[in-house]
A and B are shown apart, each in its own frame.
Chain A
Amino acid sequence: EPEVTQTPSHQVTQMGQEVILRCVPISNHLYFYWYRQILGQKVEFLVSFYNNEISEKSEIFDDQFSVERPDGSNFTLKIRSTKLEDSAMYFCASIGQVQETQYFGPGTRLLVL
């Protein structure tokens, strides 16, 4: 069964450093999402991406964040200058058609020290 994959599974970084989280969505999917979940809190929408551009973004997704689909398979989330409060689990998700089910990747746990 096709699945969404994410790398790395865990990342530890120093405050102020740049991180890139990588996702490989299901191959024929067209819509891509990033979410974050701070430990013990709810899943929060960050951004959605369709047709090589951002479709929607939340208030969390400020100028420190960017997304890219560099090569037609990977979907990346970059945090330019990490802050302590960026520590969270980051989930990638993809869907094939609008209003269909989102398939989630296993997540990347980011710890900013």
Chain B
Amino acid sequence: QKEVEQNSGPLSVPEGAIASLNCTYSDRVSQSFFWYRQYSGKSPELIMSIYSNGDKEDGRFTAQLNKASQYVSLLIRDSQPSDSATYLCAVNLNTGGFKTIFGAGTRLFVKA
């Protein structure tokens, strides 16, 4: 069973701080990795995608991928109260078809 693991949190950070979210995955040959944000009762919305080892930056967000360690992370700089949400890590499995597995998510609270 292919798994995506995340710390469920909650992770609480003060406004303006850096929030660090982590994810590990079990499928060694996965190629595509995604971070989604989900507000309560809403659908997931994409924050970042990453496909290669290393860092990828987009505004206040940086995704980091280490395929050797099967680890992907998301850093949120200058955290804002509006960043308070559940952050979902998702992995496209290399099954020959199209299958995406989500982690259970990490709840983030940004305190004003």
Contact = CB atoms under 8 A, between A and B. Distances in A.
Interface of A: 31, 33, 35, 41-45, 48, 50, 55-56, 58, 91, 98-99, 101-107
Given A99-B32, A106-B42, A106-B43, 19 more contacts: A31-B98, A35-B102, A41-B104, A42-B88, A42-B102, A43-B88, A43-B102, A44-B102, A45-B102, A48-B99, A50-B98, A55-B98, A56-B95, A56-B97, A56-B98, A98-B98, A99-B51, A102-B34, A104-B43
Nearest to B51: A99
B96 to A, nearest CB: 8
A55 B93 CA distance: 12
A44 B46 CA distance: 16
Interface residues of B, number: 24
Contacts, number: 56
A28 B104 CA distance: 30
B101 to A, nearest CB: 6
- Consensus secondary structure, chain B interface: strand
Contacts of A42: 88, 102-105
Given A42-B103, A99-B32, A91 B44 contact: yes
B50 to A, nearest CB: 11
A57 B7 CA distance: 26
Interface string B41-82: 011111001010000000000000000000000000000000
Contacts of A106: 42-43
A98 B13 CA distance: 36
Nearest to A102: B100
